[in-house]
Structure 1
Amino acid sequence: MFRGSMVALVTPMLEDESIDYVALEALIEFHIKSKTDAIVAVGTTGESATLDYKEHCEVLRFVVSKVAGRIPVIAGTGANSTREAIELTQCAKDAGVDACLLVTPYYNKPTQEGLFLHHKTIAEAVDIPQILYNVPGRTAVDMTPKTVIRLSKITNIIGIKEATGDISRVAQIKAGAGEEFDLYTGDDATAVEFILAGGHGGISVTANVAPEAVHDIYMAALDGDAVKAQELDASLKALHSDLFLEANPIPVKWALYRMGMMSKTIRLPLTVLSESAQPKVVAAMEQAGIKLS
């Protein structure tokens, strides 16, 4: 349903930690101008865990209104409470998004049957295209390919964001879910390999700061041009790594601050990028050809 580079958009904040809607609008225009193929708003990179329900819905309505149909908008609506995830997904549908992205329930550590029933219940409750999101490094639970394949049979579950970095899962999921089920990488470092193996694109943190480059890399990979994709990706290798020196979105929000795009504000319990990590992120940005303010 969606193809190419989808940015896992940060949520800019003012010094008092309120949402900076001026900066958010500027980021939206930056991405549309830079060929980003879709915006994922208020996902985990957008600090969804520390936004309250009202803020979550307000940001989604704002993004949809400012994008104005120029590219798709996907809403992060996952939660570790099934009821809360349903409420957020309904709010996103009412806001007019094109699809929702639902991270596996974090901390709870449900069984595979629990994961299946969680996502099945949300899909049946809200009639909107839904994308599963598997990131065990952050949630402490891994949705297996077998469970993904079971969920793929539900009509409005259209794909998965797979952030394990395990390329073998592309073939495993394709074999059971079929070609119509969309596969998106959530691991910037292995994105080229993932797409060349049969993935349809990625939901990227790196795309926040290098959107046009990530778009071009993903398009080359989707075209099957491995040499071009790998050559283009070479300058971003350090960025893929160093944007995760500390918990996401700490480094990427600081990188955008250094680009003059927004403040460096981030909500507790996350903190501003440490002074020891800042030179590494700057070096990675310079290697990628990103201009600093």
Structure 2
Amino acid sequence: MTHASPRPAHDHQHETDSAAQAEILDLDAEVLAEHTASITASLPLKSTPRHIVDLGCGTGAGTFALLARFSEAEVTAVDSSADHLRRLREKAGASGVGDRVRTVQADLDAAWPDLGAPDLVWASASMHHLADPARTLRKVHELLAPGGLFAVVELAGFPRFLPEGGPAERPGLEERVHAASGRHHAAHMPHRGADWGPELTDAGFTVEEARTIDVNLDGSRHEAVGRYALHSLQRMRGTVAQTLPAEDLTALDRLLAPDGPHSVLRRADLVVRTERTVWAARRA
């Protein structure tokens, strides 16, 4: 009898990380679906796009919002993660729109694939991950059809979920977690929180719109908010565990214990508070 070789530990860790990230992306798409739909509805388009490119598509939050908004459009969904693209294809097939989606696996900091000449390029929560975003902006400018629109959407980090100053048993914990996470990301993602307006102008675009949208959702209105909070805070814990005081880490772990009395899954006072900034830029 032959036995399969054990999978390398780093491969297993990659799969675990990818699955955790995909879960957050799916929950983000579900909880913020109305806000995403409102952004697609308000884009300053001059005509209905037929070919759309979603750069850094993840598991498809933007892709499916765009397909729903523009019923005749086809979307080319681009991401570096094969796992995310597989998940996106599965959802597209289950939703009956598989024939309107093409997935392309690509590292946008490396050689670019042939993406045609789209009428609209959408990049949501993806630009800050790039090592050389200025290069990507120039590439998008070259890619777009004349008069085409580039929509850049950025979320202000992970949302806040607890009441202001919460939780009561460890006041200010969530703000301290976000502060520690912010310091980590400032070192590892220097473009996070950037103002993309000047960068778009430098790349040759005309910025027609730049606006910030406040998101403030009552968690009791949406069943998925508890799970969204749990997975988001779990991911943040992995980033900040080495820098938080022991008392804060203990309090955070109480929130993250799914069956514990303090679990975010049991709280009736959750909210989703964040900001989204949208830049709409046109190729002249």
**TM-score with structure 1 setting the length:** 0.31
Bigger-Rg structure (1/2): 2
Higher strand share: 2
Q: Which has the higher contact order (CA 8 A, sep 6+)?
A: 2
**TM-score with structure 2 setting the length:** 0.31
